[in-house]
Structure 1
Amino acid sequence: MKLKYFITVLLLSVVSFAGFAQRKGYWQQGVDYTMDIDVNEKTFQYEGKMTLKYSNNSGQSLNKVYFHLYFNAFQPGSMMDERLKVIPDPDRRMMQNTGTKEKPNLQSRISTLKPQQIGYQKIKTLKFNGQDASFKIDGTILEVTLPTAIADNSTGTFDLTWDAQVPEQIRRSGRNSSEGVAFSMTQWYPKMAHFDEFGWHLDEYVGREFVAPFGNFDVTIHIDKDYVVGSSGKLQNPMEVKGYFKNAKIKAKKNKATWHYKAHNIHDFAWASDPKFVVDSAKSKGGITVYTVFLPTDKTVTSNWKTALGMATEFFDFTATKFGAYPWPTYTVIQGGDGGMEYGTATLVTGGRDLKGLVGVIFHEAAHSWYQHLFGINETVDEWFDEGFTSYIEDLAYQELFLRPTARALNPIGAAYNSYYRLALSGKEEPMSLLADYYNTNFAYSSEAYSKGAVLAEQLGYIIGKDNLHKTFLSFYDKWKFKHPTPNDFKRTAEEVSGINLKWYFNLFLNTTRKIDYGISNISENAIVIRNNSDFAMPLDILVTYEDGSKELFYIPLREMRGEKKAETSFDIYQNIKRTVLDDWFWTKPTYTISIAKKVKEVIIDPTQRLADVKQEDNIYKP
């Protein structure tokens, strides 16, 4: 199917925000932003104008609405500032050493910002359907009381003007990054808060990530004509601005060029700008135009970005076969920010990396195009669903496209498993269902959101089968793209695909810190005894090699599954081996006995290494 036709059909299929999702009664709100901003490059301030059409599909009328003013977090005394002062392992990017190397004294960078360095968004005027609306600002939340309610199944129009100051580069957003990028413009506009079946999501900007309704963006940026912009969406006037075409005729008014972007069906819009930026592009086989916008500081950096661009196009083709087609026409990788952060059809990443690091961060942020931006996951609540599944995609692509191994690893995300094991045995693990901002340590948050979340996905494949996991991802894509699914929606999809009940698995792995620990307890001439040393029951694959050289794979389903995994013939180690399905194991019974008729040479619990067993020394028996 031609890309243009495919995108037209796809966009028409999601015009109705009520949609045709699997869950009965599903609804979602809609937004349509038109913004015009005028940037003062010398003061790092800008004036903004916005017209926002807000569609209410909630089944109730709304007397109040809320916006996020994220720049307000970058002020002394903010919740973000106070969090940095008390968390035992603060993000070092947001700290400064006011002591010495020998006697360091780490201090929040936000706490020392001067008035000309802080971030802010100050609302000047706010109207709803042409009438003045009263509002108040509390930290990073703008509360708006409407002169008339927004009725169900209706659309209201907001008109806002505001002044903003871009903070000194601290976290994601900011000016003058450590790599010298002038503007990293993320979370830069008054963004409508998300309202869904759980109510309004009014999280203060403390450190973690975001959620927002899907919608369309029409953004016009006025900035010095010598600056180059990289942005979400598709540039509407590339022949009138610097950087995209050598024969462009730059149009400038009062020494400023106008950059005009449009994007459809995304839920966040970001951009960055610097006069030293260069632009490169390439197209994937599937027709996605990938742009890179970066600082060409030396030949090595330029070469790395050129190579990474080619690999990024391969990434979109690879991921389309595994997780569903990327539905937008462009994706832009922009140097900026302080690490890597995903936005609608774009990402900001730090660029002065070696090739391995650059490709890794691009793969990760581009993978967020699925697990975040296609599915609108609530990152403040289900951080593992976002970061963990993204890390899973990243690792699969990295092995396939960057390492290109001649022999595939049995477990492609072994590093994530090892990270999870360190967490599980550290005493600092907390339930993975914890709200993202509330972890006691950054160590626990990152290990659980990124690593344990990825383990959940790969281990799910161990439970339902590798082929069924692949089918689950594609079925989930078909049902939930451009919507806001919950983890339960993914679980239900996996259950429908596999015919296996998964309530026990998701509950224990998400809501508790219970650990999996099996061991080979005893082997005799006619029996193998397996023991569950933990309080987390799992199905087991047990590979037995007999002294005569023959092999047998014993599969023990768990009764709670109410079903069985089919033989996984894609694993070479299982080729031409007899597979015996045994009676299911009760989670209430600590041991299980396998009857055998031949003398044993070796026994291995889960030779594919996908069972997240925290103590594996007793998983292999060799006399």
Structure 2
Amino acid sequence: MTPSTARALFGSVLLWLALPVMAAAADSAAFNPQQAFAPFDYPQPATAYRSASGLPGPAYWQNRADYRITATLDPASRKLDGSEVISYTNNSPDALDVLWLQLDQNRYRKDARGAFTGDKFPTEFTDGYRITSVAVEDAHGRKQAVKWVVSDTRMQVRLPDALPGHGGKLQLHVAWSFTVPGEFGGRMDVNASRNGEIFEIAQWYPRMAVYDDLRGWDTAPYLNSEFYLEYGDFDYAITVPWNMIVAGSGELLNPGDVLTATQQKRLEQARRSDATVMIRTPAEVNQPSSRPKTSGTLTWHFRMHNTRDVAFGASAAYVWDAARINLPEGKTALAMSVYPVESAGPQAWGRATEFLKASTEYFSKQWYPYPWPVAINEAGTAGGMEYPGITFDSKRAKGKSLHMVIAHEIGHIWFPMIVGSNERRDAWMDEGFNTFIDVYEDDAFNHGEYAPKRDGEYAPGGGNPADEIARVMMDADAPPLLIGADMVPEKYRHPITYFKAAFGMVLLREQIIGPERFDPAFRRYIATWAYKHPSPSDFFRFMESETGEDLGWFWRGWFQHNWTLDLAVQKVAYTDGDYRKGVDVTLANLDKLVLPATLDVVYDDGSKQQVRVPWETWQQHRRYVVHVDGTRQVTSVSIDPGHALPDHDRSNNSLQMK
């Protein structure tokens, strides 16, 4: 996600509303059952690696990258110097003669490919990475320098000997440095606060590219779309001046070296407290006694298991608080927030840990347990942005907007930090799925304090999300979901990648499948693909197999195409002219998209009867007469009376009886 995340979620459709809407013609000829219900061609084939049921196949494999990193931050020069040892395991069946690494800091160079792809050419730059050495150590401890080639945000390392498949191992040693970009860094930066600069450090070390069964080396450059990374264990140490606090992904291993005795005691108190405990108060921020020493440097040592990345924040300006997270089966974790004094207060970041705790507990109970010992909110200007175990959220956010961004960013722990989809190619599988689970977290938080997230409050005129997404889908220039993330223009990124993908999941859960089948299936999808790399086809196949629904028609209309919906009530007549025999309602599907719908019949005494019209109705028909039993006179008939569906023409959804 980008720093504009707070405008995302269902409210992000505002970014689209100023665009010209190009309405496509919709008539009875637009809908073709043979087109809508033709066999669906999955984007990726079923193989021994990925089964037709959406499960990892019997031959599924995945490579692994473990990291040991040491780095030193010099705030004066804004320079980060580091070295790392990557223990790489090749579990593929292939011998690898080269390795590929991602060098995201090169995105800030003036000659970066990504500089030429945004809405306008950047005006601020850095020199990117300075790689000083690369060496390979084999399984026998033999170490030798190797050649490397840097191409934009990628680095190819040429191995002296091919790394065998089926478990071959080596260690890659890399030394590097870079200058931290200012606020133009977007997903990472250094920004000013009243009591000192705040460094938000992410995408900071050369990271292994993924080698998988879909493409071999996935070397898509970093233009602006997000990440695709291997899993492993991380051990990293950050050296900073004595007065800085470091908040990093994972578990702090040496609190005795970097915290005062009082802070250590408060942290232990927080581990047992559902109420937020202050670790470093606003009054203590400028007190040297809030640090264990008053000169030199301190090294903060962190460890994180089974993760695809780590990030950290560092500042002398941090206020720090924490509380216990209650997880399933009696387990616990620690929620923490760090923020500048000017962000404190009960209407702002004073509630940040409360928001983080509540959302993490909800997602853990509803979908899959939070897997790491600590979850952190960090306040700055890169907010919101997500990394494993830590999120960068806006230091200016308050109240509802703060809750929204915290819940959304920590929701990314589930997509794509646990379920490791390829954000660089299929952004909807993390942004859309995460926005979807946000909807229900918003309902649950503090008895609906900020709910509902789909009430249309962000839409002009108070329209609901179904109406707004219908307008998005009528735009002939809007891209489909099954398109490369870097191909989605910025003006459509939130409306399509976030909003349409999430709304599609809401339709699946509430209209097509039903929560009683959807929820267990989605939970099992998360558990099955936890710490693995599912493709879109894996998700499609899994949900079909688990829920018992043939959903090819929906994948085609909603994900593969940007098809639109227009259901109509064309005629209402009493059966044989006698209302006591019931009523016959002629329904029509006038556009390309198909969805099940609710038919609402209202009688003269105010009572009503509802009939569910399944999607199968349209497999052989463009129009269909639905008979509804009843013994009273009818006053009106309507399709989708609750406006749950994205029907772009509601003028033909109802008929009044004379």
* TM-score for both structures, normalised by structure 2: 0.79
Residue equivalent to 1:120: 128
1:146 maps to 159
User: What value does the CA root-mean-square deviation take over the aligned residues?
Assistant: 2.8
> Residue 129 of structure 2 aligns to a residue in which SS?
strand
Q: Which amino acid aligns with 2:246?
A: V
Name the residue aligned to 1:79.
Answer: 113
* Aligned CA distance change for structure 1 residues 608 and 371 (closer, same or farther; 3 Å): farther
Corresponding residue of 1:182: 198
Instruction: Call closer, same or farther: CA 1:456–1:298 in 2, change over 3 Å.
Output: closer
- What are the superposed Cα offsets for residues 45-100 of structure 1, whole Å, 9 maximum, x if unpaired? 1221111101111111111111111111112232222223xx3xx5xxxxxxxxxx
Amino acid at match of 1:348: F
Q: Which residue, 289, 293, 296 being the options, matches 2:341?
A: 296
- The more displaced of 451-460 and 313-322 is 313-322
Match of 2:254 among 225, 237, 247: 237
Between 1:240-249 and 1:525-534, the stretch displaced more is 240-249
1:157 aligns with 2:165: no
For the structure 1 residues 406 and 544, does the alpha-carbon distance in structure 2 shift closer, same or farther, using more than 3 Å as the test? farther
Shift of 1:147: 0.8
Contact 2:180–2:190 (Cα < 8 Å) also in 1: no
Answer whether contact 2:470 2:564 (CA < 8 A) is retained. Answer: no
Moved more, 45-54 or 599-608: 599-608
Judge which range, 402-411 or 38-47, deviates more: 402-411
- Aligned position for 2:506: 458
* DSSP-derived class of the 1:229 partner: strand
The residue number in structure 2 matching 1:285 is: 326
After TM superposition, give the deviation of residue 281 of structure 1 in Å: 0.5
> What residue in structure 1 maps to residue 558 of structure 2?
509
Structure 1 residues 34 and 407, CA gap change in structure 2 (3 angstroms): closer
For 2:201, the aligned partner's letter is M
Residue of 286, 297, 322 corresponding to 1:256: 297
Q: Which runs of 5+ in 2 are unaligned?
A: 1-48, 138-142, 266-289, 458-462, 576-583
2:189–2:382 Cα contact (<8 Å) kept: no
For structure 1, list consecutive stretches of 5 or more residues without a partner in the other structure. 1-16, 91-106, 560-584
Q: In the aligned structure 2, how far is the partner of 1:79 from the partner of 1:276?
A: 35
Cα separation, partners in 2 of 1:166 and 1:397, compared to 1, 3 Å: same
Counterpart AA for 1:378? N
Deviation at 1:332, TM superposition (A): 0.8
Distance in 2 between residues matched to 1:63 and 1:50, nearest whole Å:
21
1:337 Cα shift? 4.3
The alpha-carbon deviation at position 146 of structure 1 amounts to: 0.7
CA spacing shift, 1:453–1:178, aligned 2, 3 Å? farther
Shift of 1:164: 1.7
**Alpha-carbon distance in 2 for matches of 1:520, 1:290:** 52
**Preserved CA contact (<8 Å) 1:135 1:143:** yes
Q: Which sits farther off after the overlay, 21-30 or 528-537?
A: 21-30
| Contact in 2 for aligned 1:416/1:452 (Cα 8 Å) | no
1:396 alignment partner in structure 2: 440
Q: 1:123 to 1:416 in 2, by over 3 A?
A: farther
Alignment of 1:267 with 2:315, yes or no, is no
Contact 2:638-2:653 at 8 Å conserved across structures: yes
- Cα separation, 2, equivalents of 1:387 and 1:247: 36
Q: Shift in Å at residue 152 of structure 1? A: 0.9
Secondary structure of the equivalent of 2:341?
A: coil
Q: Which amino acid aligns with 1:448?
A: I
Judged with a 3 Å threshold, the aligned counterparts in structure 2 of structure 1 residues 418 and 348 are, in CA distance, closer, same or farther, namely farther
Cα shift readout 1:226-263 (whole Å, capped 9, x = no counterpart): 11111111111123225895369966697110000000
Contact 1:270 1:343 in 2 (8 A): yes
Q: Could you say which residue in structure 1 is the equivalent of 2:123?
A: 109
The verdict on how the C-alpha distance between 1:509 and 1:233 changes in structure 2, with shifts beyond 3 A counting, is same
8 Å Cα contact 1:399-1:412 kept in structure 2:
no
**May I ask how many residue pairs the two structures share in their alignment?**
554
Aligned match of 1:591 in 587, 600, 623? 623
Q: 1:210 to 1:409 in 2, by over 3 A?
A: closer
Return the offset for 1:202: 1.2
Instruction: Indicate how the Cα distance of structure 1 residues 333 and 427 shifts in structure 2: closer, same or farther if over 3 A, else same.
Output: same
For 1:302-341, list aligned pairs within 5 A: 303-341=347-385
**Structure 2 residue aligned with 1:209:** 226
CA distance in 2 between partners of 1:460 and 1:412 (Å): 20
Q: 380-389 or 290-299: which moved more?
A: 290-299
Question: Given the two structures, how large is their TM-score scaled by the length of structure 1?
Answer: 0.83
Identity of aligned residues (%): 24
Q: Which moved more, 1:282-291 or 1:174-183?
A: 174-183
Asked if the contact 1:525/1:596 (under 8 Å) is kept, the reply is no
